[in-house]
Amino acid sequence: MTNGTATIIETKDLSFTYEGGKRALKNISVKIPAGRKIAFIGPNGAGKSTLFMHFNGILKQTEGEVEYNSKKVEHSKKELIELRKEVTFVTQNPDDQIFNVIVEDDVAFGPFNLDLPIEEIRKRVDDALMMVGMESERHRPIHHLSFGQRKRVAVASALVMNPKVLIMDEPTAGLDPEMVHRLYEIADEVNMKGSTVIISTHDIETAYSWADIVVVLVDGEVLAQGTPFEVFSMKDVLDRAGLSVPMVHGLNEFMSAKGHSTYGRTMSTALLNIRKEAEPGMLYVMRPGREGEMYGCVGMYGSSSRSFIENKEISVQFRFNAIERCIEEVLSGKDSTLYLDESLSHVLDHKLSDVAEHGITISVKECI
């Protein structure tokens, strides 16, 4: 499953029984490769949240072992403090995690307890609030915030620790569509900095297009783990888990049966061969901090780009899924402009390589 990548978290025959006798996890053995994006899917009550709480020592297994960086997790106070500096957990309900009165104070709590210099704490808090789009709310009482805003604060409180592993339990539950896309942009940004990102989700379309690895959990047992294409090709596993086939995966299978090569994991890449006759337009890339002439529809991707555009009140057509939508514009023969954080250039490169595999080259021009 790891394809040569180092394993950062591993469980070995992990079982857990709650007080009262409910056996929530049954002999689970999973390997979480470092620096990858992993989605756990399965029905409610499958044990996803319970498993996640073992990854950073909130719960102690009844049987089996949990390892972090090839070292057995011990449940001493000292060991758990060290573990939670590097493995952060965002709960499904933000009210289970937030306990300070003011936004800024809650986000600063973690690094403050690391005894970091005050300037370092301020910088981390500023960066985390910018990433989740809560800079303007930093002095507000938390009880004045909406559910979605409180969820952003909970995510910021995890990001401020600069974790090596970010775990989010149903992170998109209760969020509006734009914030859902924004949260996955944040996850990409964290991952591009080298961190491992683990989520649980009921959104199979996102699991298919976003994750490097998918793990199916049902009734406390792992039914399957592998690449999205591998897992969603297992019809017996999907039936047992009550899951449907993602739309793009179904299209991939249909085209493969017709003798075509496998397509990408998003709709725009899945339809590439249909667009081969069109002459692509030009994709212009702008970096946050730069202003100048823009061409066609404009998209933004990344926390710095989003903050810059919102502060400058620049007109933007694609506020989420911007890379995909700008590429779709270009593939239809139009020009498009993408505001993109430098740190997220690899995301664009990956999408362009998907396009290139189908014999289509998109010209990219960096705006200076």
Residues 232 and 303 in one domain: no
Residues 169 and 279 in one domain: no
pLDDT at 115: 83
The last residue of a domain, from among 194, 226, 245: 245
We report the CATH number of the domain holding residue 118 as 3.40.50.300
Domain count, the chain: 2
We report the CATH number of the domain holding residue 288 as 3.40.1010
Distance CA 347, CA 341 (A): 10
pLDDT at 255: 66
Residues 202 and 302 in one domain: no
pLDDT at 361: 87
pLDDT at 88: 95
Task: Say if residues 133 and 176 touch (Cβ distance below 8 Å).
Answer: no
Could you tell me whether strands 87-90 and 165-169 are parallel, antiparallel, or unpaired per DSSP bridges?
A: parallel
Report which residue type is found at 283: L
> Residue 265's closest CA among 33, 21, 39?
39
Residues 96 and 187 in one domain: yes
Residues 24 and 75 in one domain: yes
- Residue 253 included in any domain: no
Task: Say if residues 301 and 349 touch (Cβ distance below 8 Å).
Answer: no
Residues 191 and 102 in one domain: yes
Residues 324 and 239 in one domain: no
pLDDT in tens, 114-144: 888 999 999 999 999 998 889 889 999 999 9
Please state, for a pLDDT cut of 90, what percent of the chain lies above it.
Answer: 60
Backbone dihedral angles phi then psi of residue 271, each to the nearest 5 degrees: -100, 15
Task: Average the pLDDT over 309-324 and give the result.
Answer: 89
pLDDT above 60 for 347: yes
- Residue 18 included in any domain: yes
Task: Say if residues 271 and 310 touch (Cβ distance below 8 Å).
Answer: no
- Residue 194 included in any domain: yes
- Residue 356 included in any domain: yes
Neighbours of 199 (CB within 10 A): 27
pLDDT in tens, 223-281: 999 999 899 999 999 999 999 988 878 877 776 666 555 556 776 666 666 666 668 89
Residues 83 and 175 in one domain: yes
Give the 3-state DSSP-derived string for the chain, with helices as H, strands as E and coil as C. CCCCCCEEEEEEEEEEECCCCCEEEEEEEEEEECCCEEEEECCCCCCHHHHHHHHCCCCCCCEEEEEECCEECCCCHHHHHHHHHHEEEECCCHHHCCCCCEHHHHHHHHHHCCCCCHHHHHHHHHHHHHHHCCHHHCCCEHHHCCHHHHHHHHHHHHHCCCCCEEEEECCCCCCCHHHHHHHHHHHHHHHHCCCEEEEECCCHHHHHHHCCEEEEEECCEEEEEECHHHHCCCHHHHHHHCCCCCHHHHHHHHHHHCCCCCCCCCHHHHCHHHHCCCCCCEEEEECCCCCCCCCCEEEEECHHHHHHHHHHCCCCCECCCHHHHHHHHHHCCCCEEEEECHHHHHHHHHHHHHHHCCCCCCEEEECC
Q: Which domain holds residue 130?
A: 7-245
Residues 180 and 127 in one domain: yes
Residues 239 and 285 in one domain: no
User: Hey, what are 182's tokens?
Assistant: 């924004």
Residues 36 and 81 in one domain: yes
pLDDT above 80 for 323: yes
Please state, for a pLDDT cut of 70, what percent of the chain lies above it.
Answer: 92
pLDDT in tens, 33-79: 999 999 999 999 999 999 999 999 999 999 999 999 999 999 999 99
Task: Average the pLDDT over 185-208 and give the result.
Answer: 91
